[in-house]
Amino acid sequence: MKVAFIGLGVMGYPMAGHLVAAGYDVTVFNRTPARAAAWCEEFGGRSASTPAAAVAGAAVVAVCVGNDDDVREVLTGDGGVLQGIEPGALLVDHTTASAELARDMAARCEAKGVGFVDAPVSGGQAGAEGGALTIMCGGDEQAFQHAEPVLQAYARCVRRLGPAGSGQLAKMVNQICIAGVVQGLSEAMLFSEAAGLDTADVIEVISQGAAQSWQMENRYLTMLAGEYEHGFAVDWMRKDLGIVADESKRLGVSLPLAELVDSYYADVQQMGGGRWDTSSLFARLRHQQERS
């Protein structure tokens, strides 16, 4: 099966590689051609000079770019995916974007006889590299059934959650949870340090009980070491929490914790940590403690 992959960032690069390993005939496009050339050298496959050229003849097209504007550019711009994709093909958007964008792209695809699934992912760079992502999908059942076998190449969990836009809404739920968990873990670790405990020992113990979380198990040692180069960047988390804020306003839902943690990530950006991973909320607390 011919598959096209648009966007070879931190996530897309290994995801596209897993497709090759799974036996798919993969053509890629990246806005920085050198990145596409490096991917082809590592994995094989081909690169194309435009999204439209990349998707020619592809049964499935996957997109993984930065935000709503990037999606619109690669899909609907000059030389975009929708100029080259063929009727009967399927478009899967892995970008974390707005539900409104997903619904718009679904309608545009339907007009061209193309299936559409919004399929944002969770699991970070490590999940992408290990082929163990969680993928939250929105779209009609037929489109999802077409997409699922392909997505299994880099996923440990793939689930359809409703019509177009549902995947993006589920990803918003995911980011709300992560924001609260990381802030809670950071505060707990700061408290432990102030109390004179061996924080590594404490976390090792409590991670075996009700306090356990993915963030705790995978980030506490690097947080203690002041290392924040291990995953999803603060700049991207703020983008996602901005999407959450817009959607919560539309729904008439108050999210005080998510809003508060977003302001804390703004502080991290002011510290120069825009490219640090989301566990850097601990760096903010340590910095405040040192100044007090």
171 is catalytic: yes
Torsion sign, CA atoms 186, 187, 188, 193 = positive
- Residue 91 contacts residue 36 (beta carbons within 8 Å): no
Ramachandran region of residue 133, left (φ > 0), alpha (ψ -120 to 50) or beta?
A: beta
The alpha-helical segments, DSSP class H, found in 9-111 are 12-21, 33-43, 51-55, 68-76, 81-84, 99-111
- Judge contact between 102 and 138, C-beta under 8 A: yes
CB atoms within 10 A of CB 115: 21
Which of 2, 112, 171, 239 is catalytic? The answer is: 171
Q: Is the CB of residue 194 less than 8 Å from the CB of residue 292? A: no
Q: Are 266 and 238 in contact (CB under 8 A)?
A: yes
Residues 6+ apart with CB under 8 A from 164: 102, 103, 105, 106, 116, 117, 118, 138, 139, 140
Query: Which of the residues are catalytic?
Result: 171
